[in-house]
Amino acid sequence: METKMELVQISGKDAGRRMVLPETGLRIGRASSNDWVIADEELSRNHCLIEFADGEPRLVDLASANGTYVNGEEIGSTPRVLKSGDLIEIGKTRLRVVNADAAEKPQTTVDLGLEPAPAPQSAASDASSGARKPTAGRRMLLWSLPVLVLLLGAGLVLWYPFERGTPSADSSVTRIPLAVEKGGLFALYYESVEADARHIFRYQMTIGPDGVLRVVSDDVPGENRHIDKSAKLSPEALARVNAIFASPDWSALDATYSGIAAADANELKSRRVRVVRANGVKDVLVENASEPEAFAAVREALETFSRNELGIWAIQYSREKLAALSEASEETGDAKWADRAVEYGNLGAAIKAYEEALFYLETVNPKPPHHAAIKKKLDAAKTELAARYREQRFLANKAINLGDWDEARAQLRILCDLIPDKNDPRHKEANAKLIEVDSRLRAAKKGGAK
């Protein structure tokens, strides 16, 4: 995006508040876990999301109770590309999208919300007459109706940035250019959506022409988790992704596999893969239907690849599961800590277990009560290990300097046991010295000089 955009709140007690839209996205709602928290009783806990696609900010309604409006028009479940001057209305709160540079200039007028919308619709006058927004009570009634599930499901399908047909000239959905490069894989889009009347889970994986892998995941309001990670892939990694689609069974798949309608099933389970390769474009959608074996194999391979590359495999587990895994690792750490005087390696094992316990909670928000306690235990274990390492290293170096090779070997072995991680520089140093000491001892046994 050439020009940065800024969001300015123009109504409510926090009027005047502003924020430059971060390229990592912005979540808005009443819950404290959001990036922009607004104390508005008519807002949902997780009301809407501004995300970036190909440098353009898109506003997405997160199945809010009272809806999200842009320039007087409710966006529903279809993402809306934002531009400077757009007026966003959520609950009783109004937000203006402006160019960041322009926002820095002093304001000479007060925005009373009386000016016409930048892109008026044919029914704009009706939309601003008071009939635009149903009351909160009517909204909550509609929210309870099963038909909303159908609207939610249909809208989520529209999140796909690859159109099923030819878009209109003013389409707000961005596309990856259909070009190819040497090496096979040019672009990839995979999205999995599971939704019902209670929550939405969305997992999106993309690889663009620049070879950057990005995964965006939202689980709201259930786990209340948002993940957005990316990394530049090596040519070898891109080749591995390309190989996933080499099977002729994948090429033979139909374009669409549809099952029970979302309205009848009261839920949506949709998965879509579109890949642009040197030999053409393949687009497969499976919606509320059993996955063909070839499709399932590709999907599982893509999910495994993205989680391994970005280190986000824990995303597949619920908050409760991650908390349970964390508690189990913490218990292991406690046991190793209690026995740290029994075996030299127990202190390092305790540190590893505490680090795993914190890792499981990385995507969990808010953090459970034992999170802070684990951090304190980890700090204490690291402090003690550092002190014991310094003492043990002194004893080993002393023996080496005195030429007491038997004692040096014994102390160096303790050092290696104390720091069991072979990738740790401290372990590498101790192990290198141990190899040298063993060499001297072997030479001595053969009658060589000590």
CATH number at residue 221: 3.30.1560.10
Regarding whether 428 and 330 lie in a shared domain, the answer is yes
3-state secondary structure 354-401: HHHHHHHCCCCCCCCCHHHHHHHHHHHHHHHHHHHHHHHHHHHHHHHH
Regarding whether 212 and 298 lie in a shared domain, the answer is yes
Query: Is 362 a domain residue?
Result: yes
Three-state DSSP state, 85: coil
Task: Among 284, 301, 316, give the residue marking a domain's end.
Answer: 316
The pLDDT tens digits of the residues spanning 369-385 come to: 889 999 999 999 999 99
The pLDDT tens digits of the residues spanning 385-429 come to: 999 999 999 999 999 999 999 999 999 999 999 998 888 999 999
Task: Tell me how far apart the alpha carbons of residues 155 and 149 are, in angstroms, rounded to a whole number.
Answer: 10
pLDDT of residue 265: 67
Taking alpha carbons only, the member of 439, 440, 441, 413 closest to residue 427 is 413
Regarding whether 340 and 311 lie in a shared domain, the answer is no
pLDDT of residue 136: 44
Task: Tell me how far apart the alpha carbons of residues 245 and 250 are, in angstroms, rounded to a whole number.
Answer: 6
Query: Is 443 a domain residue?
Result: yes
DSSP 34-64: SSEE---TTS-TT-EEEEEETTEEEEEE-S-
CA-CA distances (angstroms) from residue 153 to 62, 158, 421, 428?
Answer: 12, 9, 48, 55
pLDDT of residue 262: 60
Regarding whether 84 and 40 lie in a shared domain, the answer is yes
CA-CA distances (angstroms) from residue 318 to 323, 365, 410?
Answer: 9, 12, 47
Regarding whether 84 and 13 lie in a shared domain, the answer is yes
pLDDT of residue 245: 93
Domain count, the chain: 3
Regarding whether 297 and 194 lie in a shared domain, the answer is yes
Task: Tell me how far apart the alpha carbons of residues 325 and 329 are, in angstroms, rounded to a whole number.
Answer: 6
Query: Is 169 a domain residue?
Result: no
Regarding whether 358 and 285 lie in a shared domain, the answer is no
Contact yes or no for 118/86 (Cβ under 8 A): yes
Three-state DSSP state, 317: coil
Regarding whether 208 and 272 lie in a shared domain, the answer is yes
Q: Token match 């949506």: residue?
A: 268
- Is the full-model pTM beyond 0.85? no
Regarding whether 284 and 325 lie in a shared domain, the answer is no
Cα 362 from chain centroid?
Answer: 11
Fill in the amino acid letter for 178. L
Query: Is 444 a domain residue?
Result: yes
Regarding whether 334 and 309 lie in a shared domain, the answer is no
pLDDT of residue 2: 57
Task: Among 32, 65, 99, give the residue marking a domain's end.
Answer: 99
User: Which residue range is the domain that position 421 belongs to?
Assistant: 321-448
| pLDDT of the chain, 450 residues: tens digit per residue | 457 889 999 987 788 888 899 888 888 988 887 889 998 888 988 888 998 877 889 998 887 888 899 999 999 878 899 999 999 999 999 999 998 765 444 343 333 333 333 443 433 334 333 344 444 443 443 333 333 433 444 343 333 343 333 333 333 333 333 333 434 667 899 999 888 877 788 889 999 888 899 998 887 765 567 788 889 999 889 999 999 998 999 999 999 998 887 666 678 889 999 998 877 789 999 999 999 999 999 999 998 898 888 877 666 677 778 888 899 999 999 999 999 999 999 999 999 999 999 988 877 777 888 899 999 999 999 999 999 999 999 999 999 999 999 999 999 999 999 998 888 999 999 999 999 999 888 888 877 544
Angle CA 34–37–41, to nearest 5: 115
Regarding whether 288 and 193 lie in a shared domain, the answer is yes
Helix (H) / strand (E) element for 242: namely helix 235-244
Query: Is 234 a domain residue?
Result: yes
Task: Among 266, 287, 316, give the residue marking a domain's end.
Answer: 316
Regarding whether 439 and 419 lie in a shared domain, the answer is yes
